[in-house]
Amino acid sequence: MASLHSDSPLQRAAHRSLWVSVGVNIVLTAMQLITGLWAGSQALVADALHSLSDLVADFVALLARKHSHKAPDADHQYGHQRYETAASLVLGLLLLAAGCSMLLSAGNKLTGATPLAAVHQAALYAALFTLASKELLFRYMLKIATEVRSSMLVANAWHARADAASSLVVAVGIIGNLAGYTWLDPLAAALVGFMVGRTGWQFAWDALNKLMDRAADDDTVEAIRATLLATPGVQGLHDMRTRHMGDQILVDVHLEIDGELTVYQGHDIAANARARVMAEHHVLDVMTHIDPVNASQAGRH
C-alpha cells in the first residue's frame, strides 16, 4: 500500500489539489456573482453561492488534513483521523444549508407578483465557462482523492461535480430565459438548490454514521477475514469487529491458535497476522486476542 505519511508525494499532491480548488473557486465565485447581478440572473447568482460554499469547503478540508495527520497524544490516543470525518460532516451540513437557502429564494421569486425579466446573454457565457472549469476540476480532484484514499477529498471532488451539474442546469435555464421563458431562470436556481441540498444530506449522513462507529462493508470484512485465516498458525477466528477511524479501519478479533504452543509462539503468530492485515488492507490497527484451541476445536469459525 502506498505511503500516506504527511510528507509523502501522495499527501503533497492531495494538499496541492485543495489549493488548486481554492484558486478556481475564488475566480468562479467572483465572476458568477458579478455577472449574475449585472445580467439579472438569479440562477447564476445561486450558482455563485454554490461556488462560495465550495470555497468554504476547501478551507475546512485544508484545516482537517492538517490536523488529521497529527500523531496520537494524551488526549487523542487513537490518533486524529476522525478530523477528516468531522470535516466531511461539516461539508455536508454546509451544502444542505446552502441548498435550502437557494430553494427558498427561488421559490419566493417564482411565486412573487413581480414580472420576471429576461437576463443578459453574458450570463450564459459565464455559466458555460463555469461548467467546463468545474468538470475539469472534478476529474483532477477525484484522481488525487482515489490515490490517497481520502473520503473527505472524494466528497470535495464530488462537490465540484455537483457544481458542474448545477452549472449545466443554470445554462439551460438561461437559454430558456433568453428564448422568452423568463420563469426558467428562477426554476433553474431552485433545481440547483435541490441538487446542492441532496448532495449535502448524503455526505452528512455518511459522515455521521462513521462517527457512530459504523462497521466496514461486507466485502472489506471478508477480505480481512481471509487474510487472517491465511496466516500460518491461525486455525480459526471469531468475534471479529470493525469500525471506521477516519478513512481507515480498526479491527478487533479473537484468533484461535494451537493451545500446545508457547506464549512466545502464539504472540509471534498474532503479530504476523496483524502485520499482514495492515500491509494488505486500509487498516489503522488490529487488536488481537489469542484463544487456545485443540485439534478438535480448530477451524470451527
Stretches where the chain sits below pLDDT 50 are 1-6, 300
User: Looking at residue 249, what is its pLDDT?
Assistant: 87
Domain boundary among 169, 188, 211: 211
26 and 52 Cβ atoms separated by less than 8 Å: no
Residues 53 and 200 in one domain: yes
Q: What's the whole-model pTM score?
A: 0.60
User: Looking at residue 4, what is its pLDDT?
Assistant: 43
User: Looking at residue 215, what is its pLDDT?
Assistant: 81
User: Looking at residue 290, what is its pLDDT?
Assistant: 92
CATH code of the domain in which 229 resides:
3.30.70.1350
Look-up: residue for cell 480498526?
250
The neighbouring-strand residues paired with 256 are 236, 291
Residues 189 and 284 in one domain: no
Burial of 43 (0-12, 13-18, 19+ CB in 10 A): buried
User: Looking at residue 86, what is its pLDDT?
Assistant: 78
User: Looking at residue 65, what is its pLDDT?
Assistant: 63
User: Looking at residue 268, what is its pLDDT?
Assistant: 94
Query: How many domains does the chain divide into?
Result: 2
Residues 128 and 188 in one domain: yes
Look-up: residue for cell 494538499?
15
Residues 46 and 184 in one domain: yes
Q: State the Cα angle at 214 between 209 and 219, rounded to 5°.
A: 125
Which structural domain range is residue 184 located in? 9-211
- Neighbouring CB atoms inside 10 A of 36's CB total 28
User: Looking at residue 68, what is its pLDDT?
Assistant: 61
Residues 45 and 166 in one domain: yes
User: Looking at residue 2, what is its pLDDT?
Assistant: 40
User: Looking at residue 254, what is its pLDDT?
Assistant: 95
Residues 238 and 282 in one domain: yes
**Rounded distance, CA 204 to CA 92, Å?**
4
Element (H, E) at 236: strand 234-245
- Give the pairing of strands 234-245 and 248-258: antiparallel
